[in-house]
């Protein structure tokens, strides 16, 4: 192989590598709740008593800064129970004072497929929480954040560095206190307009997935019980137009599992606010299934009461 060809290759790929390095650098410097959580884990892990897990609904519903107990919220978008379980197992050795774990069981939690082993957030968990969710050895590329989902981060980079329209106000607990500008705010909280909007909701009953998911969920609960950890199972509030669209079959199966859990485990409490249309008003929502920081404040207060009742 001629040296000229190797030189040619190097010359060609050096700009590619440099370009990538710039994107990675920009990504790492984006404001991010993961970074705040990472710092919190490093600084105060030994004091943390409450760990919140779940999907974006829980991420947006619990502002850990408002809790009296030292707490951390590791919930994030598309994060399913299998990832919650791995995260818990990964961070548990760092949390010697952990007393309570807050889990989410949303309307269709048991009938949505678990995150695959290629879930794009695995590099994020590895980078910021030091938890290997890959179920294999990790390599250098597994720590590259931009590469984990380039379309997502490219948009974030564009919004933050070029458009400057990303007013993220993450507090030191990784909660975005400025997270208001969603669908509802864009519609000026006009309930007639909101009622006309379609939204994402699972309408397909999936009994096979239900069987797999519930099996893992019970393993998860057994694991927590064996470690004498208290558990609070939550459902975050949903806006009123979300509720009637839910499929009764999916709902009934979910509720039957919650009933089973209630009968079987003595260490578990419930905080079920999915159908609370009185306490949570339109201005508490970001969209049909997510709270904004005002709604989060209310829900966190409810969580605080539940935590107080445990002691």
Partner 1 sequence: MLFNSFDFGFFLVIVYFAYWGIGTKRRKAQNLLLLVASYVFYGSWDWRFLFLLMASSLVDYVAGRILERSEKVSLRKLILWTSIFWNLGVLVIFKYFNFFISSFYELFSIENTQQTYTFWNVIIPLGLSFYTFQTMSYTIDVYRKKIRPTYNLLEFLCYVSFFPQLVAGPIERANKLLPQFEKERSFNLQRTKEGLRQILWGLFKKILVADKLGLAVTMVFSNPEGYGALMLIFAAVLFCFQVYCDFSGYTDIAIGTAKLFGFSLSKNFDLPYLSKSISELWQRWHITLTNWFTDYVYAPIVKSVTPVTASMRVIGVLLTLFLIGLWHGANWTFVVFGIFNGIVIVVERAPLFKQKGTLLKGLQRIPRVLSLAYVFVMFTISGILFRAENISEAWLILKRIFTITPDVAISSLIGIKLLYLLALLIAEMATRKWEFPLQKLEIRIPKPIRWAIYYLLIILLIRYAEPKEAFIYFQF
Listed residue (121, 46, 47) closest to 84, CA to CA: 121
Listed residue (104, 108, 71, 109) closest to 236, CA to CA: 104
**Contact with partner 1 (CB under 8 A) among 18, 118, 263, 311:** 118
- Residue 132 in the binding site for partner 1 (CB under 8 A): no
Task: Kindly tell me which of 119 and 285 has the beta carbon lying closer to partner 1.
Answer: 119
E-only strand ranges, 90-132: 100-104
- Residue 19 in the binding site for partner 1 (CB under 8 A): yes
Q: Which two tokens stand for residue 216?
A: 């893992």
Q: Which two tokens stand for residue 232?
A: 């609070």
The C-alpha atoms of residue 191 and residue 199 are separated, in whole angstroms, by 14
C-alpha gyration radius of the chain:
21
Task: Report in angstroms how near the CB of residue 9 gets to partner 1 at its nearest.
Answer: 9
- Residue 16 in the binding site for partner 1 (CB under 8 A): yes
- Residue 244 in the binding site for partner 1 (CB under 8 A): no
Matching residue, tokens 């294999």:
136
CB 142, CB 126: distance < 8 Å = yes
Task: Report in angstroms how near the CB of residue 105 gets to partner 1 at its nearest.
Answer: 24
Task: Report in angstroms how near the CB of residue 197 gets to partner 1 at its nearest.
Answer: 12
- Residue 18 in the binding site for partner 1 (CB under 8 A): no
Task: Report in angstroms how near the CB of residue 147 gets to partner 1 at its nearest.
Answer: 7
Residues engaged in binding partner 1 (CB under 8 A): 1-2, 5, 12, 15-16, 19-20, 23, 118-120, 141, 147, 149-151, 154, 203-204
């Amino acid at each position: 192989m001629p040296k000229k060809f190797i030189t040619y290759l190097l010359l060609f790929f050096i700009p590619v590598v440099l370009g990538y390095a710039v994107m990675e650098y920009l990504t790492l410097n984006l404001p991010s709740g993961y970074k705040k959580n990472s710092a919190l884990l490093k600084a105060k892990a030994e004091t943390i008593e409450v760990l919140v897990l779940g999907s974006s609904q829980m991420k947006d519903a619990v502002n850990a800064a408002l809790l009296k107990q030292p707490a951390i919220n590791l919930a994030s978008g598309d994060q399913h129970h299998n990832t919650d379980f791995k995260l818990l197992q990964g961070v548990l050795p760092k949390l010697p004072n952990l007393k309570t774990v807050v889990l989410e069981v949303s309307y269709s939690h048991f009938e949505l497929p678990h995150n695959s082993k290629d879930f794009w957030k695995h590099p994020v968990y590895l980078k910021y929480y030091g938890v290997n969710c890959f179920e294999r050895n990790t390599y250098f590329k597994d720590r590259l954040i931009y590469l984990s989902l380039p379309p997502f981060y490219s948009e974030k980079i564009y919004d933050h560095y070029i458009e400057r329209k990303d007013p993220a106000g993450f507090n030191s607990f990784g909660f975005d206190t400025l997270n208001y500008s969603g669908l509802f705010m864009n519609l000026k909280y006009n309930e007639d307009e909101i009622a006309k909007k379609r939204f994402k909701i699972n309408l397909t009953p999936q009994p096979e997935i239900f069987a797999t998911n519930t099996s893992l969920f019970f393993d998860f609960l057994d694991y927590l019980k064996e470690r004498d950890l208290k558990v609070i199972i939550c459902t975050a509030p949903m806006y009123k137009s979300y509720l009637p669209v839910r499929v009764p079959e999916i709902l009934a199966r979910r509720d039957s599992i919650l009933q089973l859990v209630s009968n079987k485990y003595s260490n578990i409490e419930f905080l079920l606010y999915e159908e609370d249309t009185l306490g949570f008003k339109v201005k508490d929502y970001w969209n049909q299934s997510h709270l904004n920081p005002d709604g989060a404040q209310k829900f966190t207060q409810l969580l605080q009461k539940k935590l107080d009742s445990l002691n």
